[in-house]
Structure 1
Amino acid sequence: MTDTQVVITGGGIGGIGAALMLGRRGISVTVLERDPELTEGGFGLQLGPNITRMLKREGVFDEIAPLMVFPKRLAFRNATTGAFLNYLDCDDFERRYGSRYAVMHRNDLLQALARGARATGNVTIINSAKVTEFADHGDHVSVRTDAGAEVTGQVLLAADGIHSLVRRTWHGDAVVPTGYVAYRGTLPEDRLTGEFDFNDLTLWMGPGLHFIQYGLRDGHELNQVAVFRSPAYERGEEDWGGVDELSERFQGLFPPVEEGVKGLSMVRGWPMVDREPLETYVRGRVALLGDAAHATLQYLAQGAGQSLLDGSSLATNLAALGDGPWSDDEVARAFAAYDAERVPQASRVQATSRFWGEMWHVDTVGAVMLRDHLFATIDRYDYKLYDWLYGPALEEGGAGGASLDALETATVG
């Protein structure tokens, strides 16, 4: 039997990030992680200025920053022709939003968060602890593991991923498949066969596919992600998205894309799914966070970042209640504030990510021409498409530029 203020199920980036932010506020936390070790997949992630700004506010950015790479440009290119379409200026992001756009290795981020969490002296991380049941007893919560251990606390935060036990218990909703599959991998610099500008994060857009490349670990590794719509899935076949399809779908594209995909050296892909937005992430003394609350497609590169924003909101609102024990009314007040802050924004990220994916992957001649024209004519300093995500803007500015009313309406909608 272990007693704590906050029980967190799931030791991924969202769960450990929340534990760190709670622990820094003097709140005792027990994290239950099913795997024997804390670890994340061997590939990169992106953190927009909205996330790095929050990490600064939480006082943890300086510790993590040495592990980050800060691209100068987010570049957009046609994967078939190689045409350079446009770029976003990451230096200008810092002027406008008060922080940089960053990329880093997922496991580097997780380990840095875990070190910070343990350093608070308020966080206990228990591995090999698969949660099998939970209960809200009105004045406290309890969680039981497959080994028979029981942890009790004042609140439970479920950060147990897209297949969350808590979400499954509450809603029973299924994941939403897309028919797309992602292959991810990193290449050490001594295995690179072509030239790559490590100042750029490059998105190559093609028919029913895209390819992303950016540098990690001071430019000593190249992170690559290949995503494609599976013809086998569209035919209704059970076995789809394999490496043979990967090779076939990326044949005949612009040479750096075709060669880059060959360097993935992956034996399996990850089917891309998300979930429908929820109206609330809380019930009683239990709250969802991260993918358990708002699993999203990757097209805005906000999955990990949104989970960290969840942790910041929960830590701020729970810490405002004082030392406790927290009454039902106090917990309800803190969770209501969390819901109000996070549900609208995270739901918008879910919906907008779907839209951007559809635009990247258009495959008819006319649609490709329109997409490329829009990307090429957008004024990179006209931030009307990004302020809702990366804001608040610290400086208004930019030259105005192309009218994007139709695209903006679709994005916002």
Structure 2
Amino acid sequence: MATIQDRPVIIVGGGIGGLAAALALALKGIRSILLEQSSEFREVGAGIQIGPNAFRRFDLLGIRKAVDAIAVFPDNLIMRDALTGEEVTRIPMGERALKHYGQPYGVIHRADLHDALLQACRAQPLISLHTSAKVTGHVDHGDSVSVTLADGTVIEGSCIIGCDGLWSALREHVVGDGKPRISGHIAYRAVLPLAEVPEAQRENNVVLWAGPKTHLVHYPLRRGELYNLVAVFHSNRYEEGWNSYGDVAELNERFQNQQPQVHTLLNKIESWRMWVLCDREPVGNWTKGRTTLLGDAAHPMLQYLAQGACMAMEDAVCLADKLAARRDDPNSAFLAYQQERYLRTARVQLMARVYGDFYHATGPVRELRNAFLSGRTAEQAYAGNQWLYGG
């Protein structure tokens, strides 16, 4: 029977989750082969928010210094009503939140986090990185595994970790639940040089303008050199992928009658990238034999809690711990890993949907939201998020 000491772990997918898994395994003395189907390692997207729970994993993965050097640490998380302009709530970050959670709250360009992980992986002799390596098939031999690439190459290993994202082919083998669930929400993203942002709107905060069936989020990136914009609205449009071009006319129509500050930022962008927001129903099993799933392949979630990348890194550290403790039995390690993770990730999946409804509330629900949040203290906000950021 092949153990992880005899043959390497095969990781399918070179995004944040796949790189984090390879790095976590290497730090436990476990070899891996990481297969990325694209011709180069790169991350599509713009800014992401990273909670205190993610910073704990940066420490464990040894990339904290690299992240701190390029991340931005906002002073506050702010929600404003997009119709009236009133400030609904303000949660102080910085030293006050650091004292509560023991770790900071930051924002970072997705490509910068990906690069920090990639450079750390390249420095590890136990990690073999491969591009242009599209997996077209795999076989569980009972005591080992093998994968076949598009060019016919067969690679043998001890087990497989599927980090192949929302449209995971390995998930279809393991779970078999078909296509992702379409939320009916579309996100447009763009990044501006700071010089193009009106001075009155330059602030070291994460700001969310909550509107009827819409919201706009903006915050600085790369030490304040860039400004990240994400506009989300309800739509029936559907295109797979993360890199389609958006319809500016539709964007402006959805955000009509909102505050001038919202339109000032929206009008600064000539070309938007868009993606349709999808997730899946939570499942209690994402392991089959010597194959398991990680990150979006296991538990894809809407972005409203800003936890997709954070959960993937939590997965990676947990999975490495379980494999290190059960080096001769990958299936047992995989089952222990999912047992520890599935309820937490299911809670995040479900709460992300709730937060999406909360942000996009209309009518009396909007008024109730504003009244509830405006009366909340910082300490109450910290306590409310303890389950997430303290994990």
State the TM-score bracket (shorter-chain normalisation): over 0.9
Counterpart of 2:50 (choices 47, 56, 63) is 47
Structure 1 residue 244: Cα displacement: 1.9
Cα distance in 1 between the residues matched to 2:148 and 2:291: 15
Which is further off, 81-90 or 292-301?
Answer: 81-90
* Structure 1 residues 370-389: aligned runs within 5 Å: 370-382=368-380, 383-389=382-388
**Conservation of the 8 A alpha-carbon contact between 1:6 and 1:153:** yes
Structure 1 residue 321: Cα displacement: 3.0
Matching of residue 181 in structure 1 with residue 181 in structure 2: no
Cα distance in 2 between the residues matched to 1:183 and 1:92: 32
Structure 1 residue 142: Cα displacement: 0.8
- Determine what percentage of the aligned residue pairs are the same residue: 39
Matching of residue 135 in structure 1 with residue 145 in structure 2: no
Counterpart of 2:162 (choices 147, 158, 177) is 158
| Residue 242 (structure 2) aligns with | none
| Residue 89 (structure 2) aligns with | 86
| Residue 255 (structure 1) aligns with | 260
**Conservation of the 8 A alpha-carbon contact between 1:11 and 1:38:** yes
**Conservation of the 8 A alpha-carbon contact between 2:246 and 2:271:** no
Cα distance in 1 between the residues matched to 2:325 and 2:237: 52
**Unpaired segments ≥5 residues, structure 1:** 234-239, 393-413
TM-score, normalising length from structure 1? 0.88
Write out per-residue CA displacement over residues 337-385 of structure 1, whole angstroms, 9 at most, x where no aligned residue.
2112211101100000000101111122x11111111111111211332
| Residue 119 (structure 1) aligns with | 123
Counterpart of 2:152 (choices 131, 148, 151) is 148
Write out per-residue CA displacement over residues 271-309 of structure 1, whole angstroms, 9 at most, x where no aligned residue.
111111111121111110011000000000001110111
Structure 1 residue 253: Cα displacement: 1.1
| Residue 110 (structure 1) aligns with | 114
Cα distance in 1 between the residues matched to 2:303 and 2:208: 12
Write out per-residue CA displacement over residues 129-158 of structure 1, whole angstroms, 9 at most, x where no aligned residue.
111111111111111110111111111000
**Unpaired segments ≥5 residues, structure 2:** 1-5, 239-244
Cα distance in 1 between the residues matched to 2:236 and 2:84: 22
| Residue 325 (structure 2) aligns with | 320
Cα distance in 2 between the residues matched to 1:257 and 1:177: 26
For residues 130 and 231 of structure 1, do their structure 2 counterparts lie closer, same or farther at Cα, with a shift above 3 Å needed? closer
**Conservation of the 8 A alpha-carbon contact between 1:21 and 1:312:** yes
For residues 151 and 264 of structure 1, do their structure 2 counterparts lie closer, same or farther at Cα, with a shift above 3 Å needed? farther
Name the aligned partner's letter for residue 368 of structure 2.
Answer: L
**Conservation of the 8 A alpha-carbon contact between 2:182 and 2:279:** yes
Structure 1 residue 334: Cα displacement: 1.4
Name the aligned partner's letter for residue 269 of structure 2.
Answer: L
For residues 257 and 338 of structure 1, do their structure 2 counterparts lie closer, same or farther at Cα, with a shift above 3 Å needed? same
Cα distance in 2 between the residues matched to 1:221 and 1:102: 15
Matching of residue 98 in structure 1 with residue 102 in structure 2: yes
Cα distance in 2 between the residues matched to 1:193 and 1:169: 50
Structure 1 residue 11: Cα displacement: 0.4
SS, match of residue 190 in structure 2: strand
Structure 1 residue 268: Cα displacement: 4.3
| Residue 335 (structure 1) aligns with | 334
Cα distance in 1 between the residues matched to 2:272 and 2:107: 24
Which is further off, 271-280 or 163-172?
Answer: 163-172
Write out per-residue CA displacement over residues 13-34 of structure 1, whole angstroms, 9 at most, x where no aligned residue.
0001111111122211111111
**Conservation of the 8 A alpha-carbon contact between 1:175 and 1:275:** yes
- How many residues align? The count is 377
Cα distance in 1 between the residues matched to 2:339 and 2:101: 22
TM-score, normalising length from structure 2? 0.92
Cα distance in 2 between the residues matched to 1:312 and 1:288: 14
* Structure 1 residues 258-297: aligned runs within 5 Å: 258-297=263-302
**Conservation of the 8 A alpha-carbon contact between 1:179 and 1:271:** yes
Cα distance in 2 between the residues matched to 1:305 and 1:377: 29
* Structure 1 residues 197-216: aligned runs within 5 Å: 197-216=202-221
